[in-house]
Structure 1
Amino acid sequence: IEDIIADVKWDKTVSVDKGSKEDAVFWFIDQDNKEGQKYKVWFNETGSADVQDGKQVWGVLEGKDGETLSSIFKLNDQK
């Protein structure tokens, strides 16, 4: 997940109003400084994913990264 989040294309100028509840929420803890960052994710039918960080900054995961993140959460839903 760390490698996938590193590939998010962030855009601080974008403001998105998502009318639907996020598909996934997770926290990423940076082991170096022990700070946590909350992420919300909306998966799209095209395989991409819209990501919002805890500071309300939006980003997009495209292609394989969006699909991989989606599959990680789908696997966890089945357990």
Structure 2
Amino acid sequence: MIKETFDEVNDKFLSSVVKRLEIIECNIFHQTKEIESLHCQITSKDKELQDLKTKLNDSEKRTAEILNNHEQHSRRNNFSPQ
């Protein structure tokens, strides 16, 4: 009788432990998938950021060239020989 009760309690305990392990394993799986997704998003955002930095740099260069050309043109028009 005691052995049967012990075996029953032991089986219930083991069943509970197995169920908890399955839940934990499932949670870990979902968290791993989420982490992988976030890594992909980070990679995508890093590329997008790099592209935007390149565009900004190109735009700044064009703006500097336009300002330089404008200043040179203004100097030529304001030059008065004496």
Which is strand-richer, 1 or 2?
Answer: 1
Q: TM-score, normalised by structure 2?
A: 0.21
Which is helix-richer, 1 or 2?
Answer: 2
Of structures 1 and 2, the larger Rg is shown by 2
Q: TM-score, normalised by structure 1?
A: 0.22
Greater RCO, CA 8 A, separation 6+: 1
